[in-house]
Structure 1
Amino acid sequence: MVAHLIRLKLALLRNGLRRSPLQLIGLILGALYGLGAVALGIAGLGVLRLAEVPVAETLVVLGGSALVLGWALAPILVAGVDLTLDPARFALFPIPRRQLLLGQGLAGLIGVPGLCTVLLLAATALTWARGWAPLVTALVCAVVALGLCVAVSRLAAALASELAASRRFRDVSSVLLLIPLVLLGPIIALAAQSLDAVGASGLVAAGEVLGWTPLGAAFSAPAAAAQGNGLEALAKIGVAAAALALAAWGWSAALARALLHPAGAGRRRAGKRHRGAGLFGLLPATPAGAVAARCLVYWLRDPRYGSGLVVVPLLPVVLYMASAGGGGDPLAGPFAVSGPIVGFVLAWSISADVSYDSTAFALHLAAGVRGRDDRLGRALALLAFGLPVTLVATAVPCVVAGQWEAFPALLGLALGSLLSGVGLSSVVSARYTVAVPLPGESPFKKPSGNVAQTMLVQTGGLLVLGALISPEIALALLWAGTGQAHWGWLGLAAGAVLGPALAAGGVVLGGRWLDARGPETFASLTRAR
């Protein structure tokens, strides 16, 4: 059975590569990049054999702890919940849990990350080839560390998959997981400053602490053996083995629960009553008004939309850190264009609106909703909150810098970015569908699909939007270069005139396109399931 699961994983990988040549190219490029990094790591581990034991221990422990932590966080932060060999799909098969655990664990090593990890862990023997005791200890610890990486990764994926079935968890996780991800740049900058402050002694102290934790114990035990501290080496091996056993037990429990209660099979709450029509009663009783009300409900309650909104208030923070950082003129860096960037992010978010509808888009076709009403309703739903948010994001840099003379030029650019972007998104979403998480799935899930087309559409959309708002950009640059106020006011006029015109044009053109190819659009959505 274990061999069968491994063959199944290889078959899934092979079929995915056959289906998409671009995915094959991506795998080859990823393998080349990963193996290049591994070659550098192996060379570094070989050089550490010549270093003193405390120095080698510190570097190996810090690197190994980061490796284990990366395996634990990768299923959530990088690729979402891994659907390959999903445990819920084996619920109807009488497979012993021990065989399923072992098969999934070995299958989890198939791929570029698994191969690179195996090579790096095996190469730690180069660092500790200083006698038979540290060498044997390093080999044993490499096996334990590899098992720990797989166990914590599968445990994290299983827990995320189970918790993702909860609506409340999806909403909260959108905030908790995306905030540190968006603020990764400032966090790294602060960490670099902290490292400069603590110096090498701080790194040594961190290595000593991590050496007694589940993250670094397996990487510190060979150093203890190399220094002749056999009891310390055994104690650290025990810490690593206990962590592996605990992670494997948690993974086994999560797997048993997934087999008995597959995700998505939750119970609906009974007796919950809803009164009134909600947003549908507040907006006009027209096709466009109904579409706008439905989209606003999505923006408020669908975590796939909410996870994107979390990024918006964090953008000015990131841009501020990338600019003067409080030590100079805030308007001299990217912080000045917070409003235009926020406007673009909000406008481009509806470029995948039809894709998020999935098969529910059939209701639009069955009800005979005109394409123009569909486009207008989606645009109005976004502008209902996107316009005030963009205005605030544009005003924040002026408030921080105390330079309100820049507000007209920046506001014109922000209005052009938002409104022209809405028109462009109205056209793009009527023509192209992209691979997105299905309704009810985790917003962190990374579905397989037309990744190359999605990247091309995203890049092309950015270039086209730049061309559409080129008048506002030119006028803003003229104001920045000359300092003459009339250029800023002309930029505001351009954004206030060209933006709504392009938005209206995009709604009309996208509506005609949707009317002409509505069935084809729906067919592409059903293929993405």
Structure 2
Amino acid sequence: MVARFLTLKLTLMGNTFRKSVWQTIGMIVAAVYALSIVGLLVVAVVGLGVFEDPAWAGLAITLGGALTVLGWWLIPIFAFGVDATLDPHRFSTYAIPRRTLVAGLAVAGLVSVPGIATVLTALGTSFAWVLEPGTLLVALVGAALGVATCVVGSRAITTLLAPVLESRRYREVVTLVALVLVVSIGPLIGWLANGVEVSIEANPGDSTGMQLLPVFEQAAGVVGWTPFGASWALASTAHDGDWAGLVGRLAVALGTIALAWLVWDRALARALERPPVGDSGGGRAKGLGAFGRVPFSPTWAVAARTATYWLRDPRYSGSLAIVPLLPVIMYFSSQSTGNYFLLLATGPFVAWILGFSISNDIAYDNTAFALHVASGVDGKADRWGRAIPMLTVGPLVSAATVIASVWVADSWHLALPLLGLAFGFLLVSTGVSSAASARLVYPVAKPGESPLKSPQGAAMATMVSQGIGFLITAGLSLPVLGVGIAALILGGALWGAATLLVGVLYGALILVLAVRFGARVFDRRLPELLQQVQSFP
């Protein structure tokens, strides 16, 4: 029966290559990228163990393995909706013993790009102890236990939290938390790098590796006794001859797998008997919302619907959640470099990103785009309706970011030119988005899915479409950028006022022309756009 699960998963993976060319390309690119990373990691770790100090290899395997387990356990919680090809609910009508079902799902969970990469990395890095046959055997056992900890623990957590994961409110909150964690990685790395640099300057006689070795040893010593790192620390413990520690870590590893297996088994039984049905209660009617606050016209109806999406759809609100964090990232980056250039550039950069955020608005409509076709909304009303919410909120957010950056940097003399750049970039990027979204449409996460999820085969189309849009926006923004650079170099209130005037007037001109062009393209390609949106996987 386990072999049948494995065959079924392989068949499903093979069928993805027949769906579309983009899915095939995406799978091949992901596989090549994963194999290259695996090869680099294995060569580096094995080289440490064979040609350098085996202790370094043990530290790398313990800490890296713990991070791998943590990723397997946490990523499915944030990126909900991924790898549901073997959903256990689909087997509820079959008389399959639960233990057999758990074992089959566990083995099938390895048949994916991340699963295969994890197995190859775990087995390959074990040969860092190739010069010590006894330790190598322990390392292979630890690798098998580590992979089992990854898969069983991941399945146990996702199955246990399945009723909560079905909640739309939970998905919205988790999305925002995930985005905050992702954008915080940069400042954290900068802070750590700055601390290492200070440590090196304080102890110039020691090499960087010798200064960091005690820190890594202490971290590995603690992590090796946790469920995340116990399996991976078995080999280094055997190498040190700590047999009591080896038995203790083996007990922690086996206990973790047994507990995760038990949790998964009980959660699966509950899920099969009482499968989640999603949110049962609908929201209570509270009037027309944004539709009751705008004039009665097709343009303002589209604007009201777009504004509602921005407030209630996590795929939109997640994009807005990043904006307040960008100044924080730029501030930490400026602290590490010693100047405030990146911080001062935050306002124009935020404006650019805000305007470009509506460049694929039609794809986010999903099946709701059929309402535009059925109701006969013309291109002009659709283009301006989607741009109005951005033109209402965008200038306020951009201006607030500019004022905050010049206040922190104490550079009030740059306020006018930076405002001019921000408003110019916002108007130009909004105009380009209004034109591009009528021509370049690519797959996105469907309503209710994780905003962090990318449909299979969409990576290449996304890169090409966004690359073209960014190049066009950059080219059309050159006049505003040129005046802004002149104002920053020459200084003076007149140059600042000129930048603000040029940014607003030139940006407004590009916006009007781009919206008109986008409206004509929209009217001409309306059937093709509907067909594209409905064909997205």
Q: What letter matches 1:73 in structure 2?
A: L
2:36 alignment counterpart: 36
Residues 1:425 and 1:252: Cα distance change in structure 2 (over 3 Å) = farther
The separation in 1 between residues aligned to 2:449 and 2:57, in whole angstroms, is 44
Q: Give how far 1:177 is off.
A: 1.0
1:340 alignment counterpart: 348
Do residues 299 (structure 1) and 310 (structure 2) align?
Answer: yes
The separation in 2 between residues aligned to 1:324 and 1:228, in whole angstroms, is 45
- 1:387-398 to 2 correspondences below 5 Å: 387-398=395-406
- 1:321-360 to 2 correspondences below 5 Å: 321-325=332-336, 328-330=338-340, 333-360=341-368
Residues 1:178 and 1:450: Cα distance change in structure 2 (over 3 Å) = closer
Is the CA contact (8 Å cut-off) linking 2:41 and 2:121 kept in structure 1? yes
Q: What letter matches 1:383 in structure 2?
A: L
**Stretch deviating more after TM superposition (461-470 or 25-34):** 25-34
Is the CA contact (8 Å cut-off) linking 1:80 and 1:444 kept in structure 2? no
The secondary structure found in structure 2 opposite 1:334 is helix
Q: What letter matches 1:463 in structure 2?
A: L
1:400 alignment counterpart: 408
Q: Give how far 1:205 is off.
A: 0.9
Is the CA contact (8 Å cut-off) linking 2:23 and 2:458 kept in structure 1? no
Deviations 1:68-103 (A, max 9, x none): 223223435678633332334444444333333223
- 1:217-366 to 2 correspondences below 5 Å: 217-262=230-275, 265-269=278-282, 273-325=284-336, 328-330=338-340, 333-366=341-374
Q: What letter matches 2:38 in structure 1?
A: V
1:95 alignment counterpart: 96
Residues 1:129 and 1:273: Cα distance change in structure 2 (over 3 Å) = closer
The secondary structure found in structure 2 opposite 1:467 is helix
1:69 alignment counterpart: 70
Deviations 1:93-140 (A, max 9, x none): 443333332233222222443333222322344334565653432222
Residues 1:344 and 1:128: Cα distance change in structure 2 (over 3 Å) = same
Is the CA contact (8 Å cut-off) linking 2:421 and 2:480 kept in structure 1? yes
Q: Give how far 1:462 is off.
A: 0.4
2:522 alignment counterpart: 514
Q: What letter matches 1:182 in structure 2?
A: V
Task: Give 2:388's match in structure 1, choosing from 380, 390, 395.
Answer: 380
Is the CA contact (8 Å cut-off) linking 2:54 and 2:128 kept in structure 1? no
The separation in 2 between residues aligned to 1:29 and 1:528, in whole angstroms, is 20
Q: What letter matches 2:231 in structure 1?
A: A
The secondary structure found in structure 2 opposite 1:341 is helix
The secondary structure found in structure 1 opposite 2:226 is coil
Residues 1:66 and 1:275: Cα distance change in structure 2 (over 3 Å) = closer
Is the CA contact (8 Å cut-off) linking 1:165 and 1:442 kept in structure 2? no
Q: What letter matches 2:233 in structure 1?
A: S
Q: Give how far 1:22 is off.
A: 4.8
Is the CA contact (8 Å cut-off) linking 1:424 and 1:506 kept in structure 2? yes
2:17 alignment counterpart: 17
**Stretch deviating more after TM superposition (362-371 or 299-308):** 362-371
Q: Give how far 1:157 is off.
A: 4.6
Is the CA contact (8 Å cut-off) linking 2:24 and 2:457 kept in structure 1? no
Q: Give how far 1:268 is off.
A: 1.9
Q: What letter matches 1:454 in structure 2?
A: T
1:119 alignment counterpart: 120
Residues 1:453 and 1:116: Cα distance change in structure 2 (over 3 Å) = closer
Q: Give how far 1:328 is off.
A: 4.0
Is the CA contact (8 Å cut-off) linking 2:230 and 2:252 kept in structure 1? yes
Q: Give how far 1:151 is off.
A: 1.8
**Stretch deviating more after TM superposition (139-148 or 475-484):** 475-484
Residues 1:494 and 1:86: Cα distance change in structure 2 (over 3 Å) = farther
Q: Give how far 1:501 is off.
A: 2.1
The separation in 1 between residues aligned to 2:162 and 2:126, in whole angstroms, is 36
Q: What letter matches 1:242 in structure 2?
A: G
Task: Give 1:496's match in structure 2, choosing from 490, 498, 504.
Answer: 504
Q: Give how far 1:449 is off.
A: 4.1
Residues 1:349 and 1:259: Cα distance change in structure 2 (over 3 Å) = farther
Q: What letter matches 2:109 in structure 1?
A: G
State the number of aligned residues.
Answer: 524
Task: Give 2:462's match in structure 1, choosing from 451, 454, 460.
Answer: 454
RMSD: 2.6
The separation in 2 between residues aligned to 1:342 and 1:121, in whole angstroms, is 41
Deviations 1:205-238 (A, max 9, x none): 1111111111111122233333433332121111
The separation in 2 between residues aligned to 1:29 and 1:450, in whole angstroms, is 12
- 1:477-488 to 2 correspondences below 5 Å: 477-488=485-496
Q: Give how far 1:33 is off.
A: 3.8
Deviations 1:458-484 (A, max 9, x none): 011000001111110111111223334
Where structure 1 has 5 or more consecutive residues not aligned to the other structure, the ranges are: none
Is the CA contact (8 Å cut-off) linking 1:79 and 1:446 kept in structure 2? no
**Stretch deviating more after TM superposition (87-96 or 197-206):** 87-96
Where structure 2 has 5 or more consecutive residues not aligned to the other structure, the ranges are: 200-210
The separation in 2 between residues aligned to 1:177 and 1:427, in whole angstroms, is 31
Identity over the aligned pairs, expressed in percent?
A: 39
**Stretch deviating more after TM superposition (21-30 or 105-114):** 21-30
Q: What letter matches 1:230 in structure 2?
A: W
Q: What letter matches 2:220 in structure 1?
A: G
Residues 1:431 and 1:244: Cα distance change in structure 2 (over 3 Å) = same
Is the CA contact (8 Å cut-off) linking 1:170 and 1:442 kept in structure 2? yes
**Stretch deviating more after TM superposition (178-187 or 34-43):** 34-43
The secondary structure found in structure 2 opposite 1:184 is helix
Deviations 1:12-36 (A, max 9, x none): 3223234444544444444444333
Q: What letter matches 1:239 in structure 2?
A: V
Q: Give how far 1:52 is off.
A: 5.6
1:148 alignment counterpart: 149
Q: What TM-score, normalized to structure 1?
A: 0.91
The separation in 2 between residues aligned to 1:483 and 1:513, in whole angstroms, is 42
Residues 1:17 and 1:157: Cα distance change in structure 2 (over 3 Å) = farther
